[in-house]
Amino acid sequence: MSGSRSGSRHLGAVGFFITPFVALFALFYLVPIGYAVVQSLYQVKRTGTFGPAHDVFGGLVQYRRVFSDSPFWHSVERVLLFGIVQVPVMLGVALILALLLDSGLVRGKRFFRLAFFLPYAVPGVVAAIMWGYLYSPNLSPFTALTAHVHLLGADLVLWSIANVVTWVYVGYNMLIIYAALLAIPTEIYEAARIDGAGYFRIAWSIKIPMVMPAIVLTTVFSIIGTLQLLAEPQVFRSFSTAVSSTYTPNLTVYATSSVPNFHLAAAFSVVLALATFVLSFSFLKFTQRRGVQ
């Protein structure tokens, strides 16, 4: 950090550095958020049944509709259930793979690291199309499985989607955790090893606590990602009739805006953004209070 005196000297340079980003951030983040809030407070009124439509101030009318919209709240429950199961499974696998890569037991680390990370290069839409084919009984190479288990049926399709998301993101999360593991000074293990600690003991008592910040970071991103689920279920609508147009909160926003009912869709967006913000922020606060830095 340059000393406090340098602050006044370089204001011009600071302005040059921050203005372009700040201007775009304001235009494409802050203004849209503000605009969505304003739009959500209006409603469409018609003069007579077929008269011209006007936007009039409606106060919290749209929010009342949001809170009484049961398909929306079902979709919220669905993604919460999805997140409670999928996020720990995905991060658990990512953590185990990162620990194995770091354990010194594995040969060919570069190959495995690349192989596990490659799915991250596949866009959600493409991954969903690919797995959709793999799940379809008449297209899949795994007919022994797909003939007997309806992976695209109402009971299982949520978990079939969870598998797509897991497949894409395990490697990414593994790399973040692995990079944090590499940053731990090895002397710490040497001491533990001399004291007779084995692989599991070292992983559990030393490595995992030391990479907690990385795990917290990946958890927050996964929570945000889960609440935003859109591309995968949207693609699955062409494979499975069990995925409705309001299957996830984001699909509801999209369906409502194509009706079009922009005021209600804006209210959905605002509620969803707030919920995401509150959830990820309180998770961060919770972990900080527990002393996990």
The answer to whether 161 and 230 are in contact (CB under 8 A) is no
Q: Is 247 exposed, middle or buried (0-12, 13-18, 19+ CB in 10 A)?
A: buried
**Which residues partner with 43 through β-bridges?**
56
- Closer to other proteins at the Cβ: 158 or 219? 219
Task: Mention every residue, 6+ apart, whose C-beta is less than 8 A from residue 138.
Answer: none
Backbone angles phi, psi at 109, to 5 degrees: -60, -40
Rounded Cα distance between 76 and 227, Å, is: 8
- Closer to other proteins at the Cβ: 205 or 238? 238
Least distance CB 61 / other proteins (angstroms): 18
Closest CA to 177 of 104, 112, 83, 96: 96
- Closer to other proteins at the Cβ: 73 or 254? 254
Least distance CB 45 / other proteins (angstroms): 19
The answer to whether 54 and 224 are in contact (CB under 8 A) is no
Closest CA to 172 of 259, 57, 94, 246: 94
CA atoms within 13 A on the CB side of 18: 8
Least distance CB 156 / other proteins (angstroms): 18
- Closer to other proteins at the Cβ: 84 or 278? 278
Least distance CB 49 / other proteins (angstroms): 26
- Closer to other proteins at the Cβ: 49 or 159? 159
- Closer to other proteins at the Cβ: 6 or 186? 6
Q: Which strand (E) or helix (H) includes residue 135?
A: helix 124-135
Closest CA to 173 of 110, 97, 228, 104: 97
Least distance CB 158 / other proteins (angstroms): 19
Least distance CB 48 / other proteins (angstroms): 26
Least distance CB 228 / other proteins (angstroms): 5
- Closer to other proteins at the Cβ: 131 or 158? 131
